[in-house]
Structure 1
Amino acid sequence: MATWVNRSRVCVGLAVVTPFAVTAALAPMRARVEMVDVALLLVVVVVAVAALGSRLAGYLAALSAGAWFNYFFIAPYQQFRIADRSGVQTFTLLMIVGAAVTELAVWGRRQQAAASREAGYLAGINAAAASGATGGGSRQELIKQVASNLVEALHLQTARYQSGVAGLGDPARLQRDGQIMWQHARWDVDHQGLPGDTDIELLVEHDGRLHGRYLLRAAPHTVVSLSERRVALTLADQVGAALG
């Protein structure tokens, strides 16, 4: 966490300073350098900052790039004022493009993080499947391993296994289709997150035979995707197959 905070601070500093350094270095050559070329170079700077840092760093870089581009390359020079229409258009486009590439960079990082999580979940499933298929490790070890995988996959507080029971205590239930039923109604996971006032029951079955259940406990409004819920179902199936 401390590393991420320090990295964010560095990126925010770069977002403010780098556009100034680039435009100040090119300012003595403005008679020989096209404004469009300078604007494109500043877009590259914004992309780099947004890719390394946060949305805040990206937007600060775009704002800094627009401000210093105006100061050094739009007449009247060395003033934060734009006198002609073409300058306004160039400044506006620079800001729009800077914001757009920042959002693309943020989206790309999210996709990368999601792909990394999916790879971790698949590794957990494969480990559970291998354990069940080869008999490596005890059943209790497999049950414990899958509980840990469930906590990670669904962002839970706890996950505990109970043998041979279902429905006891009237918990919410994670259905085979990935939806959650609670108190005879479908819970709107996409908008409300996981229910946090009750355990969520995940049945462990194989060939129609009940072996037990995992009781999952989430913090209120914990958001999980349908694919993450399906991963949880697949993990439970691996335990059911091993116990069967």
Structure 2
Amino acid sequence: MLLPWRDALPNTSVSLVLVVIVVAVAAMGNRPAGALAAILLLIVGLAVSQLAARARQLKVIAITDADHLARIRDTATLAQNAKEPNVVVDRVTAQLTDLLHLRGCRFEYGTLIGHPPRLDQDGTVTWGRKRWNVDRRGLPDTEVELRTFGNGRFLGRFMLDPTPGAKPSLQARLVAVTLADQAGAAIDTAGTGRP
């Protein structure tokens, strides 16, 4: 009944109208009718609460997506315009630190020493031959490498120093991979293995 006026009425007014309906049904009917009306009101209240919670969650996701997109766009613009690739590498290092909640991050040019855990292109973390469940366990408590390529050629790697307990989302990890790719493109465009 109230659907045509939902935009004009605040939620509190709609709630009061529903309470009045329940009271009217209970006053005019018998106990079962009043109990049924109250139960229906409870169900509607729970459904509305669930929808409101979902809307808040979607708003957070939209804000996060916009932030991630802005990071990628800004880095891509910098990669196209920077005269020195180390400017892009420094920007990506700072962005990775913020995005993945790291204690620190550094870039190593053209080296593959050791076998640390690795953040792969699909956003998963592998350690040796096993997948590391970041969503459940957080990032490993040791440095994690994020390899950087340019035109299919290995150029270096970002060494990520995770904050204990940090559990960056898959979306954040995929953005991190994209940012590393932007740094790789800048290094490759400069034509050197090291700026």
Q: Do both share a fold (TM > 0.5)?
A: yes
Q: Distance in 1 between matches of 2:13 and 2:63?
A: 25
Fraction of identical pairs, as percent: 35
Amino acid at match of 1:94: L
**Superposition CA RMSD, Å:** 3.2
2:82 and 2:88 in contact (8 A); partners too: no
Alpha-carbon spacing, 1:162–1:98, altered in 2? closer, same or farther (3 Å): same
More helix, by proportion: 1
1:111 CA drift (Å): 1.4
Amino acid at match of 2:74: A
1:100 maps to 2:47: yes
Amino acid at match of 1:239: A
Task: Find the partner of 2:146 among 202, 206, 219.
Answer: 202
Q: Distance in 2 between matches of 1:43 and 1:89?
A: 25
| TM-score computed with the length of structure 1 as normaliser | 0.62
The equivalent of 2:68 in structure 1 is 121
Q: Distance in 1 between matches of 2:107 and 2:41?
A: 56
The structure whose RCO (Cα within 8 Å, separation 6+) is larger is: 2
Q: Deviations over 1:186-217 (max 9, x none)?
A: 1122333322x111110112123322211223
| TM-score computed with the length of structure 2 as normaliser | 0.75
Alignment of 1:215-226 (within 5 A): 215-226=159-170
Q: Which runs of 4+ in 1 moved over 4 A?
A: 40-43
Q: Number of matched residues?
A: 180
More strand, by proportion: 2
1:234 CA drift (Å): 0.9
Q: Distance in 2 between matches of 1:93 and 1:153?
A: 45
Alpha-carbon spacing, 1:110–1:217, altered in 2? closer, same or farther (3 Å): farther
In structure 2, list runs of 5 or more residues that go unmatched. Answer: 189-195
Task: Find the partner of 2:23 among 73, 80, 97.
Answer: 73
2:123 and 2:170 in contact (8 A); partners too: yes
In structure 1, list runs of 5 or more residues that go unmatched. Answer: 1-35, 48-61, 77-82
Alpha-carbon spacing, 1:96–1:206, altered in 2? closer, same or farther (3 Å): same
Alignment of 1:91-240 (within 5 A): 91-135=38-82, 138-168=84-114, 170-195=115-140, 197-240=141-184
Amino acid at match of 1:160: R
Amino acid at match of 1:73: V
